[in-house]
Amino acid sequence: MALPRPTTHRSLPVLAMATALLAGALTAPAAARGPGPQAAPTPPKSPVAVGHGGVVASVDADASAAGIEVLRKGGNAVDAAVATAAALGVTEPYSAGIGGGGYLVHYDAKTRKVSTVDGRERAPLSATKDLFLEKGRPLPFADAVTSGLSVGTPGTPATWDTALRSWGSRSLAQVLAPARRLARDGFTVDETFRRQTADNQARFKDFPASAALFLPGGKPPAVGSTLKNPDLARTYDLLAKDGVNAMYRGPVGRDIVKTVRKPPVDPASGRVARPGDLTEKDLRAYATRKQAPTRTAYRGLDVYGIAPSSSGGTTVAEALNILENSRLKRLPQQTYLHRYIEASRIAFADRNRWVGDPAFENVPVRGLTSQRFADSRACLIKDDAVLTSPLAPGDPRRPASSCTTRGTAAPTPYEGEHTTHLTVADKWGNIVAYTLTIEQTGGSGITVPGRGFLLNNELTDFSFTPVSPGVHDPNLPGPGKRPRSSVSPTIVLENGRPAFALGSPGGATIITTVLQTLLNHVDRGMPLVDAIAAPRASQRNAATTELEPGLWDSPLRGRLEAKGHVFKLNPEIGAATGVQRLPDGRWVAAAETSRRGGGSAMVVRPSGKPPVR
C-alpha cells in the first residue's frame, strides 16, 4: 500500500489564508513557458475560490491553472476538464495519465441533462478468470502489480475524445496546449512529488525508462528542482496532430503493446516482470461507454453518479437512501457518525456481491438504488448496537426479505488509493466531475520507452479468486471485461439546476469520502470546503472502521467504541474537490486544505468571499 501524501510547503493550512489570496494571483493561468533551465513559478495554492467566469478544483496548482487558461479563452467545462486532466498527467503522473482510465460525469446547462462516460480500462480479449493464477494459486499482489499482466487497455485518451466530441467546444490540440508546454518546459518538484518518487524508487530503478524520467542521477528529484518530460510533450504533440488514433491505431499504441508483452526491465535487477497479453487488436476494439447515470433523491436534491462498471454511483445512492429517514441534521455527532458508518457497512456488503461489469454481469442497478431496498436494509441499524462485518448482502431483487444478516458475506478486496479527481464549472453553468487514475501510486511502475507515461495496474482491481467460495463473484477477470471500480464523480441538482458537484481519489475509500462529504454539506450544514476538510471515517464491510487523526484523537472515538465499534488509524483518507453554485450566481471551487499537500481551487474572476457556516 502506498504511503499517504504529506503536507507540503505549497499547502495553506488555514482557510483564512486561502480567503486572503482570492483577490489576486491564485486565478492567474500558468505563465507562458519559453525555453530556459527553470520552470515557470508554480501558481499559489488555495483550497477555496469564489467568483464568476468558471472555476476549477484539482489537487495541483499547475493543473488547475491549465483549466483556468482554457476557460479564460472561451472554452467550456469539458474543454477545461480535459486540459486539467492532461496537465495532471505531467505533474501527477503517479496518479493519472494517458496510460490509465477514468469516469466522467457531465451536466449540460442547456438541456439540464446529466450524462456519463465510462473510460475504464479493459482486460485483454484473451483474459480468463485465471488471469492472476499461477499453477492454480493467486500471484502475490506486488508481483501482479509490477507486471504486464496488470495493464488494462487504456481509456483516458478515448474519454477525452468522447467528451470533446459530445460536449466540448475546442479541439484536442487546443486543450492539450497548456499540458504540452508544461511537459516541455517542466514543473517545480514539491515535497509530495519527491516523497511519492521515493516510495516507488525500488520499482522505478528496475525499469530503465522509469529510472531515466523519475530518478535523475539515480535519486528522486530534489524539492525545488525542475522536472521536464520531453517524451510526454512529444506524445501530446502526436495526439494533437493525429488525434486519439495515435493511441488506438498508431505508433503510441504499438509501443504500449510492445512494452506490456515484454516489460523492459533491467536484466541486472533480478526483477521478474511477467508479460501481459495486450495486443493491437485490444486497442482497436476499445470504446468508451456513454450511459445513463445513477440517480437518487435525497433531501429534495437529485444526486447523479456513475453507473457500473463503477460501484460508486450505486453504493453512494444506497447509503443515502438508507439514511433518508434519519434526521441527521439534529442528531448528536456520535449518533450521526454511527449511522453513517453502519449505512456504509451495509451498502458495501451489497456492492461486493452484486456490482461488476454490466457487459458480463446482470447488475441490479434499479434495485440497488431503490428506496424500497434501502428501507429493507435500514432496519438493520440500531443506535445501541454495531453490526458485525463482514455483513452478508441483501437481495435487491427481493427487498422484503433483506432485513437479515444471514448468508455468506463478500468481503471488500483491496484497491489502489492514489487516483486523482477534478471538478470544473463554466460561465454557462456546465459542470464536469472527472476521476482519472492509473490505480496505485506509480501504476505498474513501467514507463513506455520514449513516450513519457506510466502504464496502469488497473487489472489488479479484479478479484484474483472468488472472494467468497461457493458464491458468484461478479468481479472475476474475463475477456475484454472492465474491473469493478469505486470511482464516484457526483453531480447534485436542485430543481434541475446545479447545486454542487464533487469527487475524490482513494480506492474503495472514494465511496465513503464522497458520501461523508455530501452528508457534511447537506445535513450538517458545512460550507463545501469545510465539508471536504472535516476528518473522515471509512467503513467498507470490514471488521474495523478506519479513522483519520481528527476523529482518532477525539472523545468521539471512545463513545463509539463503547457502542461496539472497532477502529484503526488511517493517516489520510481521500483528497476531494468540488464546485458549488451560489444563489447569487457565483461559483465556489473547493479543494483540500491539507490532504495530499493541499488542493488548488481557482476562479476566472474572483468576487467576494466564500460562504461561512
Summarised one tens digit per residue, pLDDT across range 523-551 is 999 999 999 999 999 999 999 999 999 99
ω into 93 cis (within 30 of 0) = no
Q: Report the pLDDT value the prediction gives residue 43, as an integer from 0 to 100.
A: 84
Tell me which of 24-38, 161-175, 592-606 is least confident: 24-38
Q: Report the pLDDT value the prediction gives residue 26, as an integer from 0 to 100.
A: 33
Q: Report the pLDDT value the prediction gives residue 160, as an integer from 0 to 100.
A: 98
- In this predicted model, what pLDDT tens digit does every residue of 316-366 receive, in sequence order? 999 999 999 999 999 999 999 999 999 999 999 999 999 999 999 999 999
CB distance 613 to 527 below 8 Å:
yes
CB distance 426 to 77 below 8 Å:
yes
**Judgement on whether residues 134 and 100 belong to the same structural domain of the protein:** yes
Q: Is residue 3 in some structural domain?
A: no
**Judgement on whether residues 182 and 125 belong to the same structural domain of the protein:** yes
If pLDDT is split at 50, 70 and 90, which confidence band does 613 have? low
**Judgement on whether residues 203 and 118 belong to the same structural domain of the protein:** yes
3-class DSSP state of 52: strand
C-alpha cell read off for 219: 535519486
**Helix count and strand count (H, E) for the chain:** 20, 20
**Judgement on whether residues 240 and 343 belong to the same structural domain of the protein:** no
Q: Report the pLDDT value the prediction gives residue 612, as an integer from 0 to 100.
A: 78
CB distance 447 to 456 below 8 Å:
no
If pLDDT is split at 50, 70 and 90, which confidence band does 57 have? very high
| Among candidate residues 606, 605, 585, 489, the one with its CA nearest the CA of residue 71 | 605
**Judgement on whether residues 451 and 512 belong to the same structural domain of the protein:** yes
**Judgement on whether residues 397 and 424 belong to the same structural domain of the protein:** no
**Judgement on whether residues 339 and 390 belong to the same structural domain of the protein:** yes
If pLDDT is split at 50, 70 and 90, which confidence band does 469 have? confident
Instruction: With a cut of 90, say whether residue 240 has pLDDT above it.
Output: yes
Greater pLDDT, 458 or 411: 458
Helix axes 312-323, 333-354, angle to 10 degrees: 140
- How buried is 218 (Cβ within 10 angstroms: 0-12 exposed, 13-18 middle, 19+ buried)? exposed
Q: What is the CATH number of the domain that holds 386?
A: 1.10.246.130
Residues 6+ apart with CB under 8 A from 479: 123, 124, 125, 126, 127, 128
In sign, the C-alpha dihedral spanning 261, 267, 195, 222 is negative
Instruction: With a cut of 50, say whether residue 27 has pLDDT above it.
Output: no
Instruction: With a cut of 60, say whether residue 21 has pLDDT above it.
Output: no
> Rounded to the nearest 5 degrees, what angle is found at the Cα of 287, between the Cα atoms of 284 and 290?
170
Instruction: With a cut of 80, say whether residue 23 has pLDDT above it.
Output: no
> Rounded to the nearest 5 degrees, what angle is found at the Cα of 59, between the Cα atoms of 144 and 445?
20
Strands laid side by side in the 537-538 sheet:
537-538, 545-547, 567-569
Greater pLDDT, 379 or 471: 379
Quick one: average pLDDT of 408-424? 77
Q: Report the pLDDT value the prediction gives residue 471, as an integer from 0 to 100.
A: 84
Residues 6+ apart with CB under 8 A from 315: 347, 348, 350, 351, 355, 368, 486, 488, 511
Q: Is residue 612 in some structural domain?
A: no
In sign, the C-alpha dihedral spanning 552, 556, 558, 559 is negative
Quick one: average pLDDT of 417-426? 89
Residues 6+ apart with CB under 8 A from 568: 544, 545, 546, 547
**Judgement on whether residues 260 and 353 belong to the same structural domain of the protein:** no
If pLDDT is split at 50, 70 and 90, which confidence band does 403 have? confident
Instruction: With a cut of 50, say whether residue 19 has pLDDT above it.
Output: no
**Judgement on whether residues 190 and 331 belong to the same structural domain of the protein:** no
Where among 367, 401, 435 does a domain terminate? 401
Q: What is the CATH number of the domain that holds 485?
A: 3.60.20.40
Considering the candidates 192, 419, 441, 593, report the single residue annotated as catalytic. Answer: 419
- How buried is 582 (Cβ within 10 angstroms: 0-12 exposed, 13-18 middle, 19+ buried)? middle
> Rounded to the nearest 5 degrees, what angle is found at the Cα of 298, between the Cα atoms of 294 and 303?
30
Q: Is residue 569 in some structural domain?
A: yes
If pLDDT is split at 50, 70 and 90, which confidence band does 38 have? low
**Judgement on whether residues 387 and 439 belong to the same structural domain of the protein:** no
Q: Report the pLDDT value the prediction gives residue 411, as an integer from 0 to 100.
A: 67
Tell me which of 343-352, 411-420, 441-450, 534-543 is least confident: 411-420
3-class DSSP state of 166: helix
> Rounded to the nearest 5 degrees, what angle is found at the Cα of 171, between the Cα atoms of 168 and 177?
115
Quick one: average pLDDT of 470-485? 94
- End-to-end CA gap in the chain: 36
Q: Report the pLDDT value the prediction gives residue 402, as an integer from 0 to 100.
A: 63
Instruction: With a cut of 90, say whether residue 5 has pLDDT above it.
Output: no
Quick one: average pLDDT of 216-242? 97
Question: How many angstroms separate the CA atoms of 427 and 421, rounded?
Answer: 21
Question: How many angstroms separate the CA atoms of 281 and 463, rounded?
Answer: 25
Tell me which of 25-34, 67-76, 365-374, 380-389 is least confident: 25-34
3-class DSSP state of 604: strand
Q: Report the pLDDT value the prediction gives residue 416, as an integer from 0 to 100.
A: 58
**Judgement on whether residues 230 and 368 belong to the same structural domain of the protein:** no
Question: How many angstroms separate the CA atoms of 124 and 104, rounded?
Answer: 23
**Judgement on whether residues 283 and 321 belong to the same structural domain of the protein:** no
C-alpha cell read off for 372: 424500497
List phi, psi (to 5°) of 611: -65, 150
Average pLDDT, the chain: 92
If pLDDT is split at 50, 70 and 90, which confidence band does 467 have? confident
Q: Is residue 300 in some structural domain?
A: no
Domain assignment of residue 528, given as a range: 15-138+145-264+278-289+420-606
- In this predicted model, what pLDDT tens digit does every residue of 285-310 receive, in sequence order? 999 999 999 999 999 999 999 999 99
Quick one: average pLDDT of 254-259? 98
Question: How many angstroms separate the CA atoms of 165 and 171, rounded?
Answer: 9
Q: Is residue 594 in some structural domain?
A: yes
Residues 6+ apart with CB under 8 A from 5: 192, 195, 196, 418, 572, 575, 595, 596, 597
Give the number of domains in the chain: 2
Q: Is residue 219 in some structural domain?
A: yes
Q: Is residue 411 in some structural domain?
A: no
- Is 419 tagged catalytic? yes
Instruction: Tell me the three-class secondary structure of 483-501, residue by residue.
Output: CCECCCCEEEEECCEEEEE
> Hey, how many other C-beta atoms are within 10 angstroms of the C-beta on 141?
14
Strands (E), 187-230: 187-188, 226-227
If pLDDT is split at 50, 70 and 90, which confidence band does 14 have? very low
Q: Is residue 538 in some structural domain?
A: yes
Instruction: With a cut of 60, say whether residue 135 has pLDDT above it.
Output: yes
Question: How many angstroms separate the CA atoms of 264 and 297, rounded?
Answer: 50
CB distance 282 to 226 below 8 Å:
no
If pLDDT is split at 50, 70 and 90, which confidence band does 449 have? very high
C-alpha cell read off for 179: 499540458
Instruction: With a cut of 70, say whether residue 8 has pLDDT above it.
Output: no
